[in-house]
Amino acid sequence: MENDKPKIVCFMCNFAFCENETKPPSNVNVARVNCIGRLDPVTIVEMFENGADAVVLTGCKPPDCHYLEGNIQAERAVKMLKKLLSLAGLEPERIKLVWYSPIEGKSFDYHIKEYAEEMAKLVSSLLKTDKLESKLMTNILAAKNAASNFQLRVLLGREKELTEGVNVYNEKLSQEEFDELLDDIVETEFVRQKIYVLTKNVPLSVKDLSEAVGMKPAAVLKQIVNMRRKNMIACDHLEGQTPLYRALEAE
């Protein structure tokens, strides 16, 4: 059954692309980009939103990047995205980074077939656009919004500067500290965006939200206070004593 196979999007570095070696199976779509580092994390999450089951990034093995650091940028993005995916309740294996060179031992087709089989076994459910569970869709949308968050993107973009250099106060950030910081922001941002997506159409109370997000009401309230400051959310109306919150349209 064709439709039972996972749909896989494969982004491929143009410099690792080799015409006669790339004959992927029909459930895999190969999209060439000039470097896998060029991929916006949001674009990758969008793939899941639009019904892809898994995303493979195929690029040149460091240090062989045509753009010097593109593959390392991709590595960073993938690390962050895996975290986001697991928060969204999807298997982090749905994103895979493959180092590949058209002249090295295993062919591209080998890599991709291996991954497709792995995916067929591992992925518990296939994401189908029309039937996508609303809960899952909420999560994916939240992840997408989180990936486009300013703070997170600044941190992601400046990793090299922050971990290899010193900041204006002459402080040095170790890789572990940075990872912790990024994880922290990813988590917070995901929760906030989830609250935002949930309250977009229906005003919800803190209690409802804490059930949906799976956090203590106090923690949710803390996020809501923060979000109100950022003009992301506002009190819609009171239901008895309980305030119901609704997301605000972005300016």
Partner 1 sequence: MANASTTNVKRKLPPCRNACPAHVNVQAYVSLIQRGKYKEAVDVIRNDMPFPAICGRVCFSPCEDACARTNIDQAVAIRSLKKFVADIERQQTKVKPKAIPKKHKEKVAIIGAGPAGLTAAYELAKLGYPVTVFERMAEPGGMMRYCIPDFRLEKFVVENETNYIKDLGVEIKTGVEFGKDIRLESLKKDGYKAVFLAIGTQAGMKLNIPGEELKGVVNAVDFLRDIALGKHVEVGEKVAVVGGGNSAIDAARTAKRLGAKEVTILYRRSREEMPALPSEVAEAEKDGVKINILVAPKQIIGQNGKVTAIECLRMKLGEPDESGRRRPVPIEGSEHRYEVDMVIPALGQLAESKCIPKELLDEKARIPTISIDPLTLETKVPGVFAGGDVATGPASIIEAVGAGKKAAVSIHLYLTGQNVRLGREENIEETTWVKNREQIKKKERRYETHAEKPRLNFEETVDYLEKLERNAKFEAFRCLCCGPCAECLANTDFCEGDKAVVDEVLCIGCNVCAVVCPFGAAKKDENNVARINEDLCKGCGMCAARCPTRAITMKKLTNERIATLALTPLKGR
For partner 1, the closer CB: 34 or 242: 34
CA angle 81, 102, 117 (to 5 degrees): 55
Site string for partner 1, 85-104 (x = CB under 8 A): ----------------xxxx
52 or 95: CB nearest partner 1:
52
Nearest-angstrom CA–CA distance, 35 and 74: 9
Q: Does residue 181 interact with partner 1 by CB under 8 A?
A: no
Give the DSSP letter of residue 4: G
Question: Does 157 help bind partner 1 (rule: CB under 8 A)?
Answer: yes
Burial class (CB in 10 A: 0-12, 13-18, 19+), 13: buried
**Structure tokens, 180:** 């912790």
Is the Cβ of residue 32 or residue 246 nearer to partner 1 in the bound state? Answer: 32
Q: According to the binding rule CB under 8 A, does residue 42 interact with partner 1?
A: yes
Among the residue ranges 68-76, 186-194, 203-211, 213-221, the one whose residues contact partner 1 (CB under 8 A):
68-76
Q: Which is nearer to partner 1, 28 or 87 (by Cβ)?
A: 28
Q: Tell me how far apart the alpha carbons of residues 127 and 6 are, in angstroms, rounded to a whole number.
A: 8
In contact, 119 and 6? CB cutoff 8 Å? yes
- SS3 for 165? coil
217 binds partner 1 (CB under 8 A): no
Nearer Cβ to partner 1 (42/120): 42
Of the candidate spans 59-67, 82-90, 187-195, 217-225, the one that interacts with partner 1 by CB under 8 A turns out to be 59-67
H/E element, 244: strand 242-247
Q: Per CB under 8 A, does 15 bind partner 1?
A: yes
User: 96 and 54 in contact (C-beta within 8 Å)?
Assistant: yes
Q: Which two tokens stand for residue 15?
A: 């410099």
Residues that bind partner 1 in the complex, under the rule CB under 8 A: 2-3, 7, 9, 11, 14-16, 18-20, 26-27, 29, 31-35, 37-43, 46-47, 50-52, 60, 63-64, 66-70, 73, 77, 101-104, 148, 150-151, 153-154, 156-158, 160-161
